Amino acid sequence: MSELILASRSAARRAMLTGAGVRFNVVDAGVDEPAIKAAFGYDDPAALAVELAKAKALAVSRQEPGAWVLGSDQTLAFEGALVSKAPTLAAARDRLRTMRGRIHHLHSGAALARDGAVAWSGVDTAQMAMREFSDAFLDAYLDAEGEPVLAAVGAYRLEGMGSQLFDRVDGDYFTVLGMPLWAVLTELRRAGVIAA
């Protein structure tokens, strides 16, 4: 089997691959995400998720000849606008208040690169229907979850207490966690990284 490197610091992405039985190493891509977003534009959040994934995969691929490198990223679109990670718990509180009772979309992009070239890329989208939760619940949620929610673009982790923020999710669970895992596994089999 070929070597796989995950070009992401995301604990959720590491857990997905580990849970699926995929062996890999982790190398931080160290890309300038704000610069990539500014250069690419904000009009197409799904395409931007793929562009960020490609940038990560390529950055590490150029440093690791012969290895397959998996880059992945996620964007959140709410009412036609791209939403970035909340910098503080107060900002997360304001964002969640604004999104409650409404729908937003999570776009999870992924890319596989080898020797400085992208071999595959893809994206999947989940539609997230947030419920009308109370301010008291929101405060209790943020108190319980704390600073780790700032690492998630929506200020929630569906695999934790964040699941209580929603009435409905239309889409794949792994896409919500931050990677289109089924498509990634298919491509890893095609590339000979995991058994077919």
Measured distance CA(181)–CA(185) in Å, rounded: 6
Which of 73, 124, 135, 167 does the annotation list as catalytic? 73
Instruction: Give the total residue count for the chain.
Output: 196
Beta strands (DSSP E) in 80-158 are 81-83, 103-114, 117-130
Q: What is the rounded (10 degree) CA torsion for 187, 188, 192, 196?
A: -80
Note if 135 is an active site residue. Answer: no
Half-sphere exposure of residue 171: CA atoms within 13 angstroms, side-chain side: 23
Rg of the Cα trace of the chain? 17
What is the token pair recorded at 18? 């580990």
Alpha-carbon separation of residue 170 from 115, 124, 126, 167 (angstroms): 36, 11, 6, 10
Q: How far is CA 43 from CA 81, 100, 137, in A?
A: 8, 23, 33
Q: Which residues are catalytic?
A: 73
